[in-house]
Structure 1
Amino acid sequence: MDIDKEVFTAMLREYPQHVDSVYLPEMYNTIAKEYGGDYKVYVDSLYARSEITSPRGLQRFFERDTTYNLMDDPAISLGIDLIVKYFEMNQSINEASQNIEKGERLYNAAIRRMYADRNFYPDANSTMRLSFGTVKGYSPMDGVDYSYYTTAKGILEKARTHHPDPDFALGANLISLLKEQNYGKYADEKGEMKVCFISDNDITGGSSGSAMFNAKGELLGLAFDGNWEAMSGDILFEPKLQRCVGVDIRYILFVIDKYANASNLIQELQPSLK
């Protein structure tokens, strides 16, 4: 609670230093008039008088205690004050955005007329986009070849090699599962557990979690990263070096089923594994 109050006080003190007075909520007038501009005194008073800053008060709120008048609570009043100011600010932003959008439409129409012989690509933002590629390994330098997939064995190797780095630490339960190698229906035809695979798809920030399908529309996995050589991909794409990294759907299902013990999700998904 003390840390929360200190942070709140610091934020109240800092905000007016960076915005015009027109953007200050009404509470700043209250602080100036009733608390002599002392933010700490205001915060202490608010926390002392508000019901929702205590477990008992929250319980009354959640139980819909009729003796508790929500609108009289100073913290709730503060929240409403902030919401009102937010919508006032948002209204002015919306008006400006609409003017910009109208200007962009007129500008683009003029450009298309000026360069009528050129092709213009549509704005694909907020639309579903598809791309295609091939699952394949790569050779970043002479004498070095990377396969197109990794296995569960590599997870244990990395944890051991990078110990005690917390980024590679594994829970005891997962270590046990991987060492037992009891992958069941999630293993491939050789009994291995495929974990990740790479393809020559182009990936950029914000693509993590994108579904990766094969030519038959079957889910192979989820894209989540690029290799080191792909870091320059936003500037120039190098098909021979840059790879999109995806996690194999079989490993995802294995973790859900065996590690998280969420068999109910597996039953709901009803995956068809081949």
Structure 2
Amino acid sequence: DESVDKQLFKACVTAYDQFPYNAPKPNIFENLIDKKYKDKLDKYTNFVYAESIFPVPTQLADFLKNYKASDWQRIADDPLYQYAMSILINYRNNIMPTYRIQKNRIDSLQQRYMKLILEKNADHYLYPDANSTLRVAYGKVEGYEPRDGVEYKYYTTLKGIMEKENPNIYDYVVMPKLKELYKTKDYGQYGDKDGTMHVCFIASNHTTGGNSGSPVLNADGQLIGLNFDRNWEGTMSDLKYDPDQCRNITLDVRYCLFIIDKFAGADRLIKEMDLVN
């Protein structure tokens, strides 16, 4: 939405223009904005969006498709490119050096601070900061009842993908080959014993932001899926974990293998794996 994008752009320019700290502003303010568009940021925004090739996806795609070395000047003269480069250069030259100096000072003081904390609390247990460390959670594969009269099973199937198909929404477009595999139930060795193709399952593992892509293992340490989301009722689990309502959502590894093998035909990848039935 260009109108929203323009509002956001103007808000960013305003924030830089009113930057409260003792740091130089990007050169584009002194060289252009303050001279020609002082107190006229709406006019500057309209100028940028009218002259730049970047806000219009089709225009940018055509430009890049037919790009030649001599076209570089078109980019160099682009007002949005000039604004972005001015911000970047100012950040590298004036913001980052000061930030690094202060960060090094803070790191040094933090070490001294922690040393004193340990000495003061020598008789108490102090728990370490878990940031950037390995996060391990455990739970059970199980459904849940979010409210009266509503019960969710612990798994979903390929049938649900077919039911949600909508050719007008990109995320819900179903490829013809996947439809054919579903129609013929050609699931290979990856189908469940109930005759369906399981796609995802939920479990009571406690996850948080950044857990997308985390491996999900069974009790024997075997990969059974990839975590990618939380249920709606469990989004509060960063503050309070409720095992009756909190569920992580996992892509069933069997569906992943099915897509690799039967849909994409990349059986060479399957041959490199040790599959356990």
TM-score (normalised: structure 2): 0.70
97, 117, 122: which one pairs with 2:123?
Answer: 117
Compared with structure 1, are the counterparts of its residues 195 and 13 closer, same or farther at alpha carbon in structure 2 (3 Å cutoff)? closer
User: Equivalent residue of 1:212, what SS?
Assistant: strand
Partner of 1:224: 228
Shift of 1:139: 5.0
Shift of 1:227: 3.0
Distance, in Å, in 1 between the alignment partners of 2:167 and 2:77 is 48
243, 246, 249: which one pairs with 1:245?
Answer: 249
Partner of 1:191: 195
User: Equivalent residue of 1:153, what SS?
Assistant: helix
Amino acid at match of 1:99: R
Partner of 1:24: 25
Distance, in Å, in 2 between the alignment partners of 1:249 and 1:242 is 21
User: Equivalent residue of 1:233, what SS?
Assistant: helix
Number of residues of Structure 1 aligned to a counterpart in Structure 2: 262
Distance, in Å, in 1 between the alignment partners of 2:247 and 2:220 is 22
Partner of 1:262: 264
Contact 1:49 1:73 in 2 (8 A): no
Distance, in Å, in 2 between the alignment partners of 1:225 and 1:153 is 20
Compared with structure 1, are the counterparts of its residues 122 and 31 closer, same or farther at alpha carbon in structure 2 (3 Å cutoff)? same
102, 124, 130: which one pairs with 2:108?
Answer: 102
82, 88, 91: which one pairs with 1:83?
Answer: 88
Residues 20-49 of structure 1 deviation map (CA, whole Å, 9 limit, x = unaligned): 48442112222168757577689969x979
Amino acid at match of 2:126: F
Amino acid at match of 1:82: I
Contact 1:211 1:221 in 2 (8 A): yes
User: How big is the alpha-carbon RMSD for the aligned residues of Structure 1 and Structure 2?
Assistant: 4.5
Distance, in Å, in 2 between the alignment partners of 1:151 and 1:33 is 59
Q: How many percent identity over aligned positions?
A: 30
User: Equivalent residue of 2:229, what SS?
Assistant: strand
User: Equivalent residue of 2:238, what SS?
Assistant: coil
Contact 1:137 1:145 in 2 (8 A): yes
Distance, in Å, in 1 between the alignment partners of 2:147 and 2:258 is 34
Distance, in Å, in 2 between the alignment partners of 1:12 and 1:230 is 34
> Given the alignment of the two structures, is residue 92 of structure 1 paired with residue 81 of structure 2, yes or no?
no
User: Equivalent residue of 1:263, what SS?
Assistant: coil
Shift of 1:17: 3.9
Distance, in Å, in 2 between the alignment partners of 1:141 and 1:34 is 61
Residues 40-95 of structure 1 deviation map (CA, whole Å, 9 limit, x = unaligned): 689969x9799xx98998689x6545xx887x944577665433211121222222
User: Equivalent residue of 1:90, what SS?
Assistant: helix
TM-score (normalised: structure 1): 0.71
Residues 215-272 of structure 1 deviation map (CA, whole Å, 9 limit, x = unaligned): 33321111122234423322222224422221101112323444xx5333x5235342
User: Equivalent residue of 2:95, what SS?
Assistant: helix
User: Equivalent residue of 1:197, what SS?
Assistant: strand
Amino acid at match of 1:24: K
Contact 1:134 1:200 in 2 (8 A): yes
Shift of 1:164: 10
Gaps of 5+ in 1: none
Shift of 1:9: 8.0
Distance, in Å, in 2 between the alignment partners of 1:228 and 1:7 is 31
What is the correspondence of 1:17-96 to structure 2 with a 5 Å cutoff?
Answer: 17-20=17-20, 22-31=23-32, 35=36, 64=69, 73-75=76-78, 81-87=86-92, 88-96=94-102
Distance, in Å, in 1 between the alignment partners of 2:150 and 2:47 is 64
Compared with structure 1, are the counterparts of its residues 254 and 118 closer, same or farther at alpha carbon in structure 2 (3 Å cutoff)? same
